[in-house]
Chain A
Amino acid sequence: MAKLTIKRLSPEEEFPDLSQHNNHMAKVLTQDMYTKLRDRATPNGFTIDGVIQTGIDNPGHPFIMTVGCVAGDEETYEVFKELLDPIIEDRHGGYKPTDKHKTDLNPDNLKGGDDLDPNYVISSRVRTGRSIRGFCLPPHCSRGERRGVEKMSVEALDSLSGDLKGKYYALKNMTDAEQQQLIDDHFLFDKPVSPLLLASGMARDWPDGRGIWHNDTKTFLVWVNEEDHLRVISMQKGGNMKEVFNRFCTGLTKIETLFKDKGTSFMWNEHLGYVLTCPSNLGTGLRAGVHVKIPNMSKHDKFEEVLKRLRLQKRGTGGVDTAAVGGTFDISNADRLGFSEVELVQMVVDGVKLLVEMEKKLEKGQSIDDLMPAQK
């Protein structure tokens, strides 16, 4: 093991000033907790200061509560339990340290979802993340590890066949023509600019070890070494969420099998489900969503209440932190942990169906009161 030398003054002198801060980490971290945790490191040498740096550098916003910490490796969630468990509980609707998370990637368990009205639902998408066990996560990985993740992932993806067969485009070797095509397809990801991400160290050595893989039909896409080891995306135009989810599950399961053949696996455990860099993406790491035209519904004064009861969230069509354009919203599940993949996609399918029904009623000038859902 490499030498690990840390110079420190007393824990009181090192404790961060969080008086202006509004994020989950700042709410939970006390002097006593810091004093206890700073004497530990994960077997890979990740320390409490590494976990919390992004939350110190980004005080947050009075209205938006960010997480304020990241994991540097799988062991972070164990070694720094005292900090991360309460953050997870707060962020994930009361999920306790003793709770167990269900994983269900059997698409046959999804009811319906193939008949969302394409006059309203423009596109359907499911995304998640996966981490490769044995490698450090983006905030802490070395260049060699990051390249190892890339190599292993590309080997696995290259052996996919049928409608999943595709090609890898490394960010640093991309030709101008390839780059333009990926931009036109809305596939290309760029170096993060958000200080929330940069402050965690995950953009180091950009673009080394980063790339995009997609299948020939452009319906299954994998990002390598952006905010997580892998981000897996299944998407297509129209409202057939069932097909999107089928492909998602099939693809993921195939990739996981390929990794097992190589003697490794995805980071997963019974309590936290799939382990990712940001605690907000634990469990399923899944966001299933649609772009849907609901100009009337979105102006209704009960819109927020309906979303809340359906356990859905709205975003602009540019993704997180963007505004909606012309009454078209990105509607997706609000939860990640404590529900299975099938359960979350079911919520989206049922919820969007209801929203479209409500939109149609409002178009006709009718009331939606009798359609108001119960809290899920």
Chain B
Amino acid sequence: MANNFGRILSSKRNVGILSLIGAGSLTAGFLLNREHVTAGAQARRVYPASAEYPDLRKHNNCMASHLTPAIYAKLVDKATPNGYSLDQAIQTGVDNPGHPFIKTVGMVAGDEESYEVFADLLDPVIKERHNGYDPQIMTHPTDLDSSKLTSGNFDERYVLSSRVRTGRSIRGLSLPPACTRAERREVERVVVDALAGLKGDLAGTYYSLTHMTDQEQQQLIDDHFLFDKPVSPLLTCSGMARDWPDARGIWHNNTKTFLIWINEEDHTRVISMEKGGNMKRVFDRFCTGLKEVERLIQEKGWEFMWNERLGYILTCPSNLGTGLRAGVHVNLPKLSKDPRFTKILDNLRLQKRGTGGVDTAAVGSTFDISNLDRLGQSEVQLVQTVVDGVNYLIDCEKKLEKGQDIKIPPPFKK
């Protein structure tokens, strides 16, 4: 970690790191004006960790399950090199106790180093959220070779659209919960600069949220591309919506099949999508586009946050590894009413959502079906899981149409 940090400082433009330690020390550019302290004011009371420990008795999220008073006491006085603290990381989980049926993560990372500095809390959270993946002993495989994908063309009488999304973070800049305005603007500059270098069917245009015209806004809404200021308290409590809409925007290619969100919940969210069932082509474009963007930012001396332990680093621990959600909108009128539907999905390692995305209901019998997992398997493996799984679901639907019986598949083995 220290090596990474040193490299960032030397290779980038001047980033001011200011720190104040103790009552009397000064470092370059940072002044503590003692004369501004009101005469006779009491010194700030510094409370012990036990007085600061949050009340988590009504909470049901991964952070609350693993943050013991001992771990809190150990980590509370630490900060990442950018000054991000434990209290900041867990704020969203303290403010959002959760739901008895839905277990949220309950914490975020403010920067890449959060995953190291707060590993005593984040590792068990990651293990719980990612089905036993142990960051202390395992490594995560990255594989963006889409040529390995087989049978990636779905029956379009059932599959209406196909989509793959992930996120990427720019190394050296803090993540949305903690970034300053200038860092966020730098993320925008770096990414938009790189995207301007895309060619052929990837060539496109950037629409900044601040400068969008009414017409452009309407077009983006009609295309279902526009994202708005988050309203979910899960997100707003982490501080990621500060300064909205400064440095936020949407980029998409001219054919509207490759889309990038800038500075929403992550530095970037990358989406490849099309109507119909050609998941192979969607995944091809996804991999090609991602690799091309990576090449373009590397030309300018930047890189994505990634390591062997955790794969691609994103704001929410639930999106580590591949950060990948590959899914389809698929019509399954008979299967969705079958009592075995949920079990079949479970064994295929798939999840269902409504067609409005996470936390929405299905319309009619059209569902959003996607991979459950993010970490511990590669991109190719996860998309193959979706392909095989959706093909199985369509097969079940066809059988039910003919009055034949269906089987619950055996539980998925990696």
Chain A residues within CB distance 8 Å of chain B: 1-10, 13-17, 39-44, 49, 53, 56-57, 73-75, 78-79, 133-136, 142-145, 147-148, 172, 198-199, 203-206, 208, 264, 269
Contact = CB atoms under 8 A, between A and B. Distances in A.
6 tightest CB-CB pairs across the interface, nearest first? A144-B47, A13-B182, A9-B182, A134-B42, A5-B83, A144-B51
Given A74-B38, A133-B42, A7 B82 contact: yes
Contact of A142 (B52, B77, B210): B52
Interface stretch (B117-125, B131-139, B236-244): B236-244
Contacts of B29: 39
Nearest to B241: A57
Contact of A198 (B19, B79, B236): B236
A56 B46 CA distance: 30
A204 B91 contact: yes
Given A56-B243, A78-B36, A205-B94, A5 B43 contact: no
Nearest to B19: A5
A5 B81 contact: yes
Contact of B19 (A6, A43, A204): A6
Contacts of A2: 46, 77
Name, among A8, A40, A133, the residue most crowded by chain B CB atoms within 10 Å (CB to CB).
A8
A208 B54 contact: yes
Interface in B150-189: 174, 180-183, 185-186
A8 B182 contact: yes
B44 interface: yes
Interface string B76-88: 0101011100010
B403 interface: no
B33 A9 contact: no
B210 A17 contact: yes
A133 B47 contact: no
B148 interface: no
B20 A3 contact: yes
B414 interface: no
Interface string B9-53: 000000111111111000001111100111001111111100111
B292 interface: no
B19 A79 contact: no
Given A16-B181, A204-B91, 10 more contacts: A4-B21, A10-B182, A14-B180, A39-B31, A53-B242, A57-B241, A73-B44, A147-B51, A148-B47, A204-B237
Contacts of B243: 16-17, 53, 56-57
B246 A3 contact: no
Contacts of A9: 15-16, 180, 182-183, 186
B359 interface: no
Contacts of B95: 203-206
Contacts of B16: 7-10
Contacts of A39: 29-31
Contacts of A57: 241-244
Contact of B180 (A8, A75, A145, A205): A8
Contact of A5 (B18, B183, B246): B18
B179 to A, nearest CB: 9
B223 interface: no
Contacts of A10: 16, 182
A198 B229 CA distance: 15
9 contacts: A1-B23, A2-B46, A4-B20, A5-B19, A7-B81, A41-B20, A43-B43, A198-B236, A264-B42
